[in-house]
A and B are shown apart, each in its own frame.
Chain A
C-alpha cells in the first residue's frame, strides 16, 4: 500500500467505514510508516477536538412553532363541548329532542370506544415492533401456536398457515386491549408485520371496516363469535387480501 492510498483510507478507518480486510492492510502499512502513523494521530486529534464541542444547534423556538403550525394538525378528538351541548339538549329539550340526544350519545360513546380501540390497537402493534416481544411462542407451525393459547385465554383463536398465500406465520403472543387479554397472531409479509388480534366478539363491537391511524391500517371483522382486528403498515388492499385468505383458510375443515 502506498502512502497516498493510506492517506484516504485513514479517514475511512477512523470513520468505521473499512471492512476488516482493508483495515488490516492499513494497519500493516501504519506499522511500517511513521509518517502515516503520525497522520493518523493528527486525524484522531482533529476528530476529538471537533467532538469536544457541541456543534449541533437548537432550532429557534419561533421557527419550531411556525413549522408546527404549518403542518396539518392530527385530527382532533370530538371536542368535549360537543358532548356538553348534546347533554344540554337532553336536559332542556322536549322528549323528542331528548331521544335524539340519547341516540347521538350512544353513537358518541360507540365511536369513542372505537377510537380508543384503534389507539389501543396501534399502540399494541407498535409495542410489538419496538420491544423484544413480538411473539411469546415463536414458530411457523400452527399446531404449536394454537395449543399455546390453551389455558391462557378463554378462547381458542384460529391459527392458520398462510405461507403459500404470501403471509408467513411468525408465532403468537398474549396481549391486552381495552384492559382485556387477547390473542395476537403474528404474520409477516415481506418486511412488514401483521398483528392479528382475536377476542370474543361482544355486542359493543363496532361495525366491520377499515380505518387508518398514524399511518397504520386497521381492518376489523367479526365471525363465529370472534372479533378480529388486523393491524399493519401494509397497504389497505393487501390487508384486505390478508383478511380474505385468513378467513378462507380458517373455514377449511383441515384448519379447524
Chain B
C-alpha cells in the first residue's frame, strides 16, 4: 500500500503531539531550574522534544512526564558549560549538607514570610544542582520518589536524603532572606 509509511509517520507524530506537548510548560520549568538561564532553557526544551520524538518508540508506560524529564536532564547535562557551572561531582552532595532537623538553629516555630514566585525561584536556584533537581521534581513537577530516582539515576534512599537536605538548605536560605529584610 503506497503511503503506508506516511500513515505510520503521521500516526506517531500525532500521538507524540497529543501525549507530549501538553507537558511543554513543565519541561520548560524544569529546564529553567536546571540551567538557570532563559535562552539555554529554550534551546534545551526544544532539543528535548525533538530527541523525544526521535526515540518515541522506546517510551513505555502511562505517564510520559518522567520520560520527558529524563531526556531533558540528559540534554541539560550535555548543554551545560563547564565554565558556567561546576559538575555534579564537584558539588556538595549528600553528607556536606545538614539533614532537616540539624539545620534548625532558628527559634522553633518561626514563620516563613510569604514571598512571590520570583523570590522563591531564586531561593531554589541558589541550591546546589543535586538538591535543586530533586526539589524541583518533587515540589513543582510532583513526581514520586521512585520516578525521581529513575530520572536522576540514584537509589530511592538517596532521593530521600537529598530531598531532606535540600529542604533544610532551602528553609535556612528562606529564613536568612527574611532576617536580612527585617534588619536593613
Interface residues of A (CB under 8 A from B): 3-4, 7-8, 10-12, 15, 17, 35-36, 38-39, 41-43, 45-47, 49-60, 63-64, 66-68, 70-75, 209-216
Apart from the given pairs A12-B145, A42-B104, 9 other A-B contacts in the complex at a CB distance below 8 Å = A8-B164, A10-B164, A35-B101, A43-B100, A52-B114, A53-B114, A55-B117, A214-B15, A215-B14
Contact of A63 among B13, B28, B108, B161 (CB under 8 A): B28
A184 to B162: give the CA distance in the assembly, Å: 51
Interface residues of B (CB under 8 A from A): 1, 6-18, 21, 24-29, 32, 42, 45-46, 49-50, 53, 99-102, 104, 108-109, 111-112, 114-117, 120-121, 124, 138-140, 144-145, 160-161, 163-164, 167, 170-171, 174
Within 8 Å CB of A47, what residues of B?
139
- Determine if B121 and A55 form an interchain contact, defined as CB atoms under 8 angstroms apart: yes
Residue of A nearest to B163 (CB): A11
A96 to B116: give the CA distance in the assembly, Å: 74
A142 to B71: give the CA distance in the assembly, Å: 46
A200 to B74: give the CA distance in the assembly, Å: 53
- Determine if A70 and B50 form an interchain contact, defined as CB atoms under 8 angstroms apart: yes
A58, A71, A216 interface centre (most CB from chain B within 10 Å)? A71
Closest approach, in angstroms, between the C-beta of A82 and any C-beta of chain B? 15
- Determine if B167 and A11 form an interchain contact, defined as CB atoms under 8 angstroms apart: yes
- Determine if B7 and A71 form an interchain contact, defined as CB atoms under 8 angstroms apart: no
Given contacts A49-B112, A71-B16, contact A57 B28 (CB under 8 A): yes
- Determine if B101 and A3 form an interchain contact, defined as CB atoms under 8 angstroms apart: yes
- Determine if B17 and A71 form an interchain contact, defined as CB atoms under 8 angstroms apart: yes
Within 8 Å CB of A39, what residues of B?
100-101, 104
- Determine if B160 and A209 form an interchain contact, defined as CB atoms under 8 angstroms apart: no
A36 to B101: give the CA distance in the assembly, Å: 7
Within 8 Å CB of A15, what residues of B?
138, 145, 163
Given contacts A8-B161, A15-B138, A60-B42, contact A71 B29 (CB under 8 A): no
**14 A-B pairs with C-beta separation under 8 A:** A7-B164, A38-B109, A39-B100, A42-B104, A45-B111, A46-B167, A56-B26, A56-B29, A60-B42, A63-B45, A71-B17, A72-B53, A75-B10, A213-B7
